Every structure is written in structure tokens, then in C-alpha cells.
């Protein structure tokens, strides 16, 4: 075998793949995208799943609440699933658990302390799932199955109790970092540098590492520096303070609450996710603050402006979040008044910049001073490793093969290039897509000749089964082109059309200005149906005749493709219904 076959720009098929002998590694989500992280490790009759996340939909996915991985492969192999292991408690790693449990029975979920509390809160809202056994793990835990031996090491992220995973398989050792960064002056627990170095010295076959910030040079700034800036703002600000950040950034949230208390400000928390995290943080002592620091929302107007701090969700400009409602004047308890200071302790995630800018403008228009993160203010730091931190992880683990994960394609590719700078040969780096599989065989890694089904599943409201892509396509067509309904009255016994069809349009053209177009369309359909009904036809034939006649005509006249909905009313009773 020559090295060129393992180049990530080529496809290499492992010879004689044997499921009983070899180990398979694949992702059902998290590659080529940000979100719905789900990575699987399969050997013979066992599957280990790491993380089960969701992805939040883009603006063009109308009416969709979540995007989740396709669980078809896991459903087909549900008897093989031995464990679901969670690296940390962010929604893109735990949000899919309720949907997964409704599809597959999983006896045990292993999760670190804070993630366990968040999962229990999530599953308690689903009565059928609340009995699922969740086992707490930490950096010293271990899990043993027939084919896998799994250990853990502490990492630093923007949520407490984040873990990296060491998976010992019959064909080599795999390290999956989870989301991580390196912070040499952390707030809270430090990373297990010594354990990572020991794992690396012991030999690692494959490293799978977080790629989110692979385009960012250098080291990310320390959380302690952000805390210092927030503390200065609290000391200088005289009026009311409103602070918005990611609800899941517990260390940041703890610093904000403590700064408020130290400066004599009482705190009120708005936003369901923020309230849940504060409740769990207080329970687990991750947030260590006197509970008397909090006040009820009804008491906001009883305090002087310099004695109040409002902590809320909405730093990403979400329409229904607390900060958006405050900015728009629709919040039940809070209205912006001149002299308020709003602190956005976050960066807009890709795609949210316009929404965040809109919120900032509205808050400023109402008289507030808005402070946001800049290179000078340092009001936010990332929870993901930048290039130098990625290099440090690669140097500590010293893998033979490398697979970047958790990122869009460009991020994965740049992370692979970073790995090559640290000495990993290009042919040993695998830039994969969801559903692509790697084969581990006797300490070597190859691309598999198999591919796993990985279509995205769209979750709409209470429909946890997911919507088909055809429904999403219809919604997009309705949004862009509208719809045209064609009402036809027929007598099926005599195989006759009783009158000229009627056409109703919504969201397609302005009816008053398009009467000629619609009348011509009615005549075209009428003539086509009369020709078709010279012989016996089915209702399906009639509907196809309507669509095949009308769709090309409308596109030719308007350059638009509305959804055409045929409505066929049968027999003379239909005439009366049409008249009514």
C-alpha cells in the first residue's frame, strides 16, 4: 500500500473490511457544519455513541425548531448500542437526546456532573424518558464493555465539567477531545495537561479534535481577563446594568453575578434557559453566591438604578429572547430608560450579526449605552481552541492519524493543515463528511468502503419524527413563489367536465392586476381537461393534466413556479358547492 491512498483529497477503500475484526468510526452529525454533534465507534456487536446534539435551523428553514441527525443506522443496529457518552452540556451535544431516546432504547447515558443535571432537567419534561438511567462521570471515571475500554480527561470549555475521551479499541487507541480550549489562568478547574501528555506518550492511533476556531490565529484570551473587564464596568457604571451572555457560559455567568453582588446590586434573571442554568449552578455550587442577591421581577422598580443588575438571554438577537423584548418595549417587567447600560458579553455566531446589530440599534435608540466585545474591551472569549491551542493538543496527544471534527468544511481542512505543521503526514489526515467512515485495523487507519445514511431530519413543533425534505421544499416554494389552487367540477359517471375551472391564487400574483393571466390559465386548463376526458381517466390523471398544463404556462409568463393544487369536485352536487 502506498501513502498516496490516504490523502484526504482522494478516496481510499480499505481492503477486505471485516466488521468482526475491524473498528469503524463515523459521524452522524458535526462534520461540515456547526451543530448536531454525534460520533459513533463500532466494533462487531457493539456501538459506542459520543454526544447527541441538535443544530438550530437557518432562517430559510421556515417553521423548523431543530435539525437532528438521521438515526436510521442506529435504529437498525439498536441492539448493538452499549452506551451514550456526553462530553459536556451544550445543546449541540445534548439537545438531541430526547429524540434519540424516542427512536432507540439506550440503557445508560454517561455524562459529567453539569451536563447530567441539564439532561435530567430536559428529560423530566418528557415523562416517558424521565426513567432513563444517567450515570455521572468525571476525569477519573472508566467504562468497560466487551470490546471498548474508555477513560476521560478534564478539558476547559465555556461550560463546567467538560471532558475529553480516550477510547481503547481492539485496533488502536482513539482520543476524542470534545469542545476544548487551553486557558493558562482559568476560572475554575484546569485541564489535565499531565494526563493528556501521558496518553500521548503511551501512543494514540487516531485523534479527533475540535475545529471550530481553526481559522483563528494565536491563543484565545483568558476568561480571567474578561472577568476583570466586567468587574471594571460594574465599578464605573452609575445607572441600571443589563448584561446578556450565553446562558450555558456558567463561569461567565458566575462572574457577572458575583460582580453585581460585590458592588451592592441585586440581581434579577430573565430567560428560561438562563433561569435553568442559574438554578442548576446554585444547586451544584458551580455558582457560589448568596441567594439573597436575587430579587423577584415585581420588585425591580422599587430599587435605585445603581442597585440593580438585570441578567438576561438574547445576546444573539433572538426574536423571542428577553433582551429583544426589552429592546422592543414588549417585556412585562423591564423598559429601557435613558442612562441604562447594556453589556453584550458575547460575539455574534455566524449568521446572527444582522439580528444583533438590530438589537443594538434599538437599545441605543431607546437611550441605552451598549457595550459590546471588541479588541479593546475584551468582554468575551471563546470556548474553542484557536490555532496555537490546537497545535498544543496535537503535540500533547501525538497521534499517528488525525481526523478534524466539529466544524464546517473550511474549518476541518484548515485544522488538517495545522496538524501537518506539527508533523502529521498529509496522507494521515482525514477530512470527512457526515456518514463517511474510517476503518481501524491493527493500528492503521483507512477510509472505509461503506457509508452511513446521514440525511438531516427537521423537527417541527411537536413532530419529533422529523419532516421530510419535500415538506421543507414546499415551504420554501410557498415563501418564494406562492400557490395556485385550481377548482374543477366534473361528472365522473358521464366523464364530463361541468364548467370552466376556477383559479385561486395566494402569494403568487396580485389578483386585481392579473385577471387576464388567470383567465387565460383557466381556458388552457379547461381545454386540456376536455381533451383528456374524451377517454376514461382517473382523478390522478386529471390532477397531472392540470399541473402539466398550468406549471409551464405560469413559469413562461411570470418566471415563477408556484405550488399548483388541483381540487376536483365530483358530480352535479359540486356545482351547488361551487356556487355557495
Residue whose C-alpha is closest to residue 258's, from 289, 296, 230? 289
Catalytic option among 157, 331, 384, 406: 384
Q: Tell me how far apart the alpha carbons of residues 410 and 32 are, in angstroms, rounded to a whole number.
A: 8
Sheet with strand 133-137: strands edge to edge: 133-137, 108-112, 81-85, 46-50, 38-43, 23-29, 436-441, 444-451
**Whole-Å CA distances, 253 to 189, 208, 297:** 16, 30, 19
Torsional class of 271: left (φ above 0), alpha (ψ -120 to 50), beta (otherwise): left
Q: Tell me how far apart the alpha carbons of residues 63 and 30 are, in angstroms, rounded to a whole number.
A: 22
Is residue 413 a contact partner of residue 426, using CB atoms and an 8 Å limit?
no
Q: Tell me how far apart the alpha carbons of residues 83 and 110 are, in angstroms, rounded to a whole number.
A: 7
106: which residues sit within 8 A by CB, 6+ positions away? 49, 81, 83, 84, 100, 132
Could you tell me whether strands 162-169 and 149-155 are parallel, antiparallel, or unpaired per DSSP bridges?
Answer: antiparallel
Could you tell me whether strands 172-176 and 399-405 are parallel, antiparallel, or unpaired per DSSP bridges?
Answer: unpaired
169: which residues sit within 8 A by CB, 6+ positions away? 23, 41, 43, 147, 148, 440
**Whole-Å CA distances, 384 to 180, 183, 209:** 5, 10, 11
| CB neighbourhood size of 513 (10 A) | 8
Burial class of residue 436, CB neighbours in 10 A (0-12, 13-18, 19+) = buried
Burial class of residue 255, CB neighbours in 10 A (0-12, 13-18, 19+) = buried
| Dihedral over Cα of 428, 219, 95, 67: its sign | negative
Q: Tell me how far apart the alpha carbons of residues 38 and 99 are, in angstroms, rounded to a whole number.
A: 13
Catalytic option among 92, 179, 210, 251: 210
Q: Residue 436 catalytic?
A: no
Cell reading at 262: 460585590
Q: Residue 384 catalytic?
A: yes
Residue whose C-alpha is closest to residue 66's, from 91, 42, 41? 91
Burial class of residue 217, CB neighbours in 10 A (0-12, 13-18, 19+) = exposed
Phi/psi of residue 482, each to 5°? 80, -165
Cell reading at 304: 435605585
Residues with a known catalytic role: 210, 384
Amino acid at each position: 500500500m502506498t501513502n498516496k491512498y490516504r490523502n484526504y483529497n482522494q478516496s481510499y477503500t480499505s481492503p477486505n473490511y471485516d466488521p468482526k475484526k475491524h473498528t469503524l468510526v463515523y459521524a452522524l452529525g458535526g462534520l461540515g457544519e456547526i451543530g448536531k454533534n454525534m460520533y459513533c465507534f463500532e466494533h462487531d456487536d457493539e456501538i459506542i455513541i459520543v454526544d447527541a446534539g441538535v443544530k438550530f435551523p437557518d432562517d430559510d428553514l421556515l417553521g423548523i425548531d431543530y435539525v437532528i441527525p438521521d438515526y436510521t443506522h442506529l435504529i437498525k443496529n439498536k441492539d448493538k448500542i452499549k452506551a451514550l457518552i456526553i462530553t459536556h452540556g451544550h445543546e449541540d451535544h445534548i439537545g438531541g437526546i430526547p429524540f434519540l431516546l424516542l427512536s432507540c432504547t439506550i440503557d445508560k447515558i454517561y455524562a459529567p456532573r453539569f451536563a447530567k443535571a441539564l439532561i435530567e432537567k430536559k428529560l423530566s419534561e418528557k415523562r416517558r424518558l424521565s426513567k432513563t438511567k444517567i450515570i455521572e462521570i468525571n476525569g477519573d471515571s472508566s467504562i468497560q464493555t466487551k470490546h471498548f475500554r474508555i477513560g476521560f480527561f478534564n478539558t476547559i470549555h465555556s461550560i463546567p465539567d467538560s471532558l475529553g475521551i480516550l477510547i481503547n479499541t481492539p485496533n488502536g487507541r482513539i482520543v476524542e477531545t470534545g469542545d476544548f480550549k487551553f486557558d493558562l489562568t482559568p476560572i475554575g478547574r484546569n485541564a489535565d495537561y499531565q494526563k493528556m501528555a501521558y496518553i500521548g506518550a503511551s501512543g494514540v492511533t487516531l485523534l479527533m479534535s475540535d475545529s471550530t476556531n481553526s481559522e483563528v490565529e494565536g491563543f484565545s484570551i483568558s476568561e480571567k481577563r474578561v472577568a476583570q473587564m466586567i468587574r471594571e464596568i460594574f465599578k464605573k457604571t452609575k445607572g441600571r446594568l443589563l448584561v446578556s451572555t450565553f446562558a450555558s457560559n456558567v463561569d461567565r455567568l458566575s462572574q457577572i453575578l458575583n460582580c453585581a453582588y460585590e458592588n451592592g446590586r441585586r440581581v434579577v434573571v430573565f430567560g428560561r434557559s438562563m433561569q435553568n442554568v442559574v438554578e442548576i449552578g446554585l444547586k451544584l455550587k458551580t455558582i457560589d453566591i448568596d441567594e439573597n442577591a436575587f430579587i423577584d421581577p415585581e420588585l425591580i422598580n422599587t430599587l435605585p438604578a445603581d442597585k440593580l443588575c438585570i441578567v438576561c438571554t438574547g445576546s444573539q438577537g433572538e426574536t423571542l429572547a428577553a433582551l429583544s423584548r426589552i429592546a422592543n418595549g414588549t417585556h412585562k417587567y423591564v423598559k429601557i430608560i435613558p442612562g441604562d447600560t447594556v453589556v453584550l458579553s458575547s460575539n455574534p455566531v455566524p449568521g446572527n450579526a444582522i439580528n444583533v446589530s438590530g438589537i443594538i440599534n434599538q437599545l441605543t435608540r431607546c437611550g441605552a449605552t451598549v457595550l459590546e466585545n471588541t479588541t479593546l474591551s475584551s468582554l468575551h472569549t471563546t470556548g474553542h481552541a484557536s490555532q496555537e491551542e490546537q497545535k498544543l493538543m496535537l503535540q500533547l496527544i501525538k497521534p499517528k492519524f488525525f481526523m478534524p471534527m466539529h466544524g464546517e468544511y473550511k474549518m476541518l481542512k484548515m485544522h488538517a493543515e495545522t496538524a501537518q505543521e506539527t508533523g502529521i503526514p498529509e496522507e494521515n489526515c482525514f477530512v470527512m463528511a457526515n456518514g463517511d467512515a474510517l476503518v481501524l485495523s491493527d493500528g492503521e487507519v483507512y477510509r472505509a468502503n461503506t457509508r452511513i445514511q446521514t440525511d438531516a431530519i427537521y423537527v417541527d413543533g411537536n413532530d419529533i419524527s422529523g419532516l421530510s425534505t419535500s415538506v421543507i421544499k414546499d415551504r420554501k416554494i410557498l415563501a418564494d413563489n406562492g400557490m395556485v389552487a385550481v377548482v374543477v367540477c366534473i361528472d365522473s359517471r358521464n366523464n364530463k367536465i361541468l364548467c370552466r375551472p376556477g383559479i385561486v391564487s395566494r402569494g403568487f400574483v396580485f389578483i386585481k392586476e392579473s385577471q387576464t393571466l388567470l383567465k387565460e390559465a383557466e381556458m388552457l386548463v379547461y381545454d386540456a381537461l376536455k381533451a383528456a376526458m374524451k377517454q376514461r381517466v382517473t382523478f390522478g390523471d386529471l390532477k397531472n393534466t392540470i399541473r402539466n398544463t398550468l406549471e409551464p404556462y405560469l413559469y413562461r409568463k411570470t418566471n415563477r413556479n408556484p405550488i399548483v393544487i388541483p381540487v376536483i369536485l365530483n358530480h352535479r352536487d359540486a356545482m351547488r358547492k361551487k356556487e355557495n
